[in-house]
Amino acid sequence: MQRVEKVRDLQTLADAERLAGRRIALVPTMGALHPGHLSLVELARRRADRVWVSIFVNPTQFDDPGDLARYPRTLPEDLEACRAAGVDLVFAPTAAQMYPEGAQTVVEVLELTQPLCGRTRPGHFRGVTTVVAKLLLAAKPHLAVFGEKDFQQLAVIRRMVRDLHVDVEIVSAPIVREDDGLAMSSRNANLDREARIQARALARALDAAQEAWAGGERDARALLARVRAEIGKAPRAEIDYAELRDPESLASAPERLAGPTLLALAVFLRPPAGCEGAGVRLIDNRVLRP
């Protein structure tokens, strides 16, 4: 397995692979890899000749400096996990490589970034689209794989690729969950034992909505009431948002639901009483389908 740190070196390798007729799949990550990330690698392996993983904690997508400082960094373990998964190349650049001195260019998708996470995390998606555009230009992949847990991010990246005519296929992979239903996330490592137990409320809320939907419930307010009631059973859980949206446009769902509907959640697990801090923010989602 190769490890590359410089953008120019990666571009040279990409040119050689393309000239040889081999398909490149890129799996962009911020490290702290878990089985959810490795499921993206497995999907990439089925779709391409070469699987490349990028590991870069992107500073421009963090609106809170404390959140950036707390984000787990486990590069040695990540490299070993990639090697065991049969990854061909890991791109692990420095911030200076991705953002050269004096850098002043950004990529921004406007409307899709306004609701949900975009409403409470100013500048987050501008950082995401800018760094993903840089990674696509550096790796020159035929396809890039993203997980559906970050549903809004996936929608934003697809829109960016369409709008800019980027010659890459965006492939989505389903959410991978722990045995108790919690969506796998690098942020789960920051949960204390009690918060980890209470975090199960997100999956229970999605299940409650799914059960109501399967039973014929189509009233948006009633569905969201069930979701909020389930999360409310976790004393340290604080809802950032719980919303029903169109899965394509991310527009607000009508009061009476008809077609496929995205249920998107963002929840803070507050620190224990007497402890300072913002807590751990988790997201999850499910598309309710007729």
Just list the catalytic residues.
37
Closest CA to 28 of 183, 147, 176, 142: 147
> Looking at this protein, which amino acid is placed at residue 263?
L
Give the other-Cβ count within 10 Å of 189's Cβ: 14
Positive or negative torsion for Cα 146, 142, 107, 101 = positive
Closest CA to 59 of 72, 68, 70: 68
Which residues make Cβ contacts (< 8 Å) with residue 239, sequence separation at least 6? 228, 231, 265, 266, 267, 268
Residues 277, 34: Cα–Cα separation, whole Å:
25
Q: What is the DSSP letter of 271?
A: P
Q: What is the DSSP letter of 233?
A: T
- Local structure of 161: helix, strand or coil: helix
- Local structure of 202: helix, strand or coil: helix
